[in-house]
Each structure stands twice: as structure tokens, then as C-alpha cells.
């Protein structure tokens, strides 16, 4: 590990290739953790640099409050200023000294511009959104889902960040990577469905081969007709199989089927598809539901969900109450 990193500011550390690979892909994890442990005084710098790197895929800066963002960028600005002030001045003319400071400030603005140049596309409640990425891969977003990527460099890095659920049809080429809060999916050219929300991480492969890595670094490689799932109550990826009867998942046709799933999961999807708020009577959340509903007609969907479980529903505006 390069001991010169001890003199780095957060912005210079965030520009180091080895640091970027550690933050985004976990490479050299043991070495970096040991380095941070040996240099406890650099923990704040490392954390600020980590947030800068993660912000390039839209995951860290977005979680900060406005005051937190201001504080972070304020610290970056201070570190740049102090860095320029510490440079030897005896051989520099005043104009050149001013030029260094201006260049450092310009570098900061370039950084900020790059961070804000990310493209974020979102499907609202009750809708699906089809997206064609810059290199011609296609993504269909389920309701209340979004992707974030760097438009200018996507043809080279082919990386994006997903929140929610989406179906990907990836063009063949260099490695294509999808980051989520719960894990990462890497492919070359294939089609797969990915869910990442509320502690649930699920990848279903429709064609080709998919590498799945959970946030705990557990890895699996799945092929067409296989899925890898990790729910919030589990600590490992579970592999299972399914019958590939269509080229795309059912939800893309407005159909949502379940087999012995908690009613709370079914209701979450119902809320997203119909842009409503459902109030479940206490004690109903963990009831196991097997069946299906379709988008388009809320009354029909409610009947198909409540009837098998001997429940009843009432609707008032955008609020639905389900009880025994």
C-alpha cells in the first residue's frame, strides 16, 4: 500500500485508480482496511473520498442532506486550497502562483460538473418505462424504479445504478455492470430481470450467463432458467430454477403472479402499479398468498388478492383498506 496516500486530500484520494476499484468493486479490500486501521487520522478523508467515488453511480451523494452536501464540498474546497498553499513558492512568480490556485479551483468545478452529469431515468407509480442506453442495450423499468448512469462515458464503462426492478436486454460487448444497494450483476451479452428494493435482491436469467455478487461478497453464476435470491431475512444467495416460457417476465405484460409470498410483498407491488396507499389490518402482513393480479382494473386486482384469503377491501379515493 502506497504510504504517500497519507498526504492526500479527499479529492486526490478519490482520483486514485486503486481507491476507486476498492470502493466500487471491493478490490484490495484487506489491504485498504489495514491501511485505514494504521492511519486512523485519515478516516474522515477516506469517508469523504468514498462518497465522491460512489456519487458517480448516484448512490452516496444522493443520500446526504443539503447541509451534508454543503459540508462535504466545503471540506473538498478547503483541502484544495490548503494543498495549493503548501506548495513551495520560492521559485514561483506571483502570476504562476495564482495560476495554480485557479487551476485547482477549475479542477473542483470539473469534478462537480462530472458528478452532476449523471443521467437518472425513473418510472413513476403506475407506469413502466422503456429506455435505450447509449450503446443500444435496452432496459424496461417497473413502476417506482430508476437507473442512474454517466451518459458521456457509458459506451466505455457500461455501468449503472438501479433502484427497484428492471428487465435488461444487454448488447454484446464489454462487461456490463448493474450496481444496487444489495449487490452487483455483471454480464457480457444476455437478458435478465433484477429486483433490488426493501432488502430483497433477486436476479433471474432469461438468456446467456450472469454473475451475481451480493453486498456480502457472496458470488454465483447463473444461466438461463436460473435465479439467485437473497431476502432481508436471509444471509446468503439462494439458487433456484424457473421455466422460461416467454422472452420477458410477466410484469412487462401487466401480470403479477405469486406462490406462497407474504401478503405485504403483494400489496407493495399493488401500490406501485396503481399509485395507491393500502392499509392492511394488523396481523395480515405475513399471510401467504398464491395467485395473481393484473394492472388496469383496481377492483378486479383487489378481488383476486382478497378472495383466496377470505379478506375484504374498501376504497376511498387513493386509500384502500384490507381487513378480515
- Asked whether residue 248 is domain-assigned, the answer is no
Q: Which domain holds residue 260?
A: 254-323
Angle in degrees, CA 266, 267, 272, rounded to 5: 100
Q: What is the CATH number of the domain that holds 259?
A: 3.55.50.30
- Asked whether residue 249 is domain-assigned, the answer is no
| Pair 112, 131 in one domain | no
Q: Helix, strand, coil proportions of the chain in percent (round to 5)?
A: 40, 30, 30
Mean pLDDT of 213-230: 93
| Pair 207, 107 in one domain | no
The predicted pLDDT at position 64 comes to: 43
Q: How far apart are CA 195 and CA 169, in angstroms?
A: 15
Count: domains in the chain: 3
* Domain final position from 188, 217, 241: 241
Close Cβ partners of 289 (under 8 Å, ≥ 6 residues apart):
258, 260, 261, 262, 263, 266, 305, 308, 309
Q: Which residue has the cell 442512474?
A: 148
Q: What is the pTM of this model?
A: 0.66
The 8-class DSSP code of residue 281 comes to: P
User: Which of 5-14, 127-136, 218-227, 282-291 is least confident?
Assistant: 5-14
pLDDT value at 86 more than 50: no
| Pair 26, 64 in one domain | yes
Phi-psi region of 198 (alpha: psi -120 to 50; beta: other; left: phi over 0): left
- Asked whether residue 131 is domain-assigned, the answer is yes
| Pair 199, 128 in one domain | yes
- Asked whether residue 247 is domain-assigned, the answer is no
pLDDT band of 310, cuts 50, 70, 90: very high
Query: Model confidence over 271-306: pLDDT tens digits?
Result: 999 999 999 999 999 999 999 999 999 999 999 999
- Asked whether residue 195 is domain-assigned, the answer is yes
Q: Which of 133, 148, 164 is nearest to 59 (CA)?
A: 148
The predicted pLDDT at position 95 comes to: 41
Amino acid at each position: 500500500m502506497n504510504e504517500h496516500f497519507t498526504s492526500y486530500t479527499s479529492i486526490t484520494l478519490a482520483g486514485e485508480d486503486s481507491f476507486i476499484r476498492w470502493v466500487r468493486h471491493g478490490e484490495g479490500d484487506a489491504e485498504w482496511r489495514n491501511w485505514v486501521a494504521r492511519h486512523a487520522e485519515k478516516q474522515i478523508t477516506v469517508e469523504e473520498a468514498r462518497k465522491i467515488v460512489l456519487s458517480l453511480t448516484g448512490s452516496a451523494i444522493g443520500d446526504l442532506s443539503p447541509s451534508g452536501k454543503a459540508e462535504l464540498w466545503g471540506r473538498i474546497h478547503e483541502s484544495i486550497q490548503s494543498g495549493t498553499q503548501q506548495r513551495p513558492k520560492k521559485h514561483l512568480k506571483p502570476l504562476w502562483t495564482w495560476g495554480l490556485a485557479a487551476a485547482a479551483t477549475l479542477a473542483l468545478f470539473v469534478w462537480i460538473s462530472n458528478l452532476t452529469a449523471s443521467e437518472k431515468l425513473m418510472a413513476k407509480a403506475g407506469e413502466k418505462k422503456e429506455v435505450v442506453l447509449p450503446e443500444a442495450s435496452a432496459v424496461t423499468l417497473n413502476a417506482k424504479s430508476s437507473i442512474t448512469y454517466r451518459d458521456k462515458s457509458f459506451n466505455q464503462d457500461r455501468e449503472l445504478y438501479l433502484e427497484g426492478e428492471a428487465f435488461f436486454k444487454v448488447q454484446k460487448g464489454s462487461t456490463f455492470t448493474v450496481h444496487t444497494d444489495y449487490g452487483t450483476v455483471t454480464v457480457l451479452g444476455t437478458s435478465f430481470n433484477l429486483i433490488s428494493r426493501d432488502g430483497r435482491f433477486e436476479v433471474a436469467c432469461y438468456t446467456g450467463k450472469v454473475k451475481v455478487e451480493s453486498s456480502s461478497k457472496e458470488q454465483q453464476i447463473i444461466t438461463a432458467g436460473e435465479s439467485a435470491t437473497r431476502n432481508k431475512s436471509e444471509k446468503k444467495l439462494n439458487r433456484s430454477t424457473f421455466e422460461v416460457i416467454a422472452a420477458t417476465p410477466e410484469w412487462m405484460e401487466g401480470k403479477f403472479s405469486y406462490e406462497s409470498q407474504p401478503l405485504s410483498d403483494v400489496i407493495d407491488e399493488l401500490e406501485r402499479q396503481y399509485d395507491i396507499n393500502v392499509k392492511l389490518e394488523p396481523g395480515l402482513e405475513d399471510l401467504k398468498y398464491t395467485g395473481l393480479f393484473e394492472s388496469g382494473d383496481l377492483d378486479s386486482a383487489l378481488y383476486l388478492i382478497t378472495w383466496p384469503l377470505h379478506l375484504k377491501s374498501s376504497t376511498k379515493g387513493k386509500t384502500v383498506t384490507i381487513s378480515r
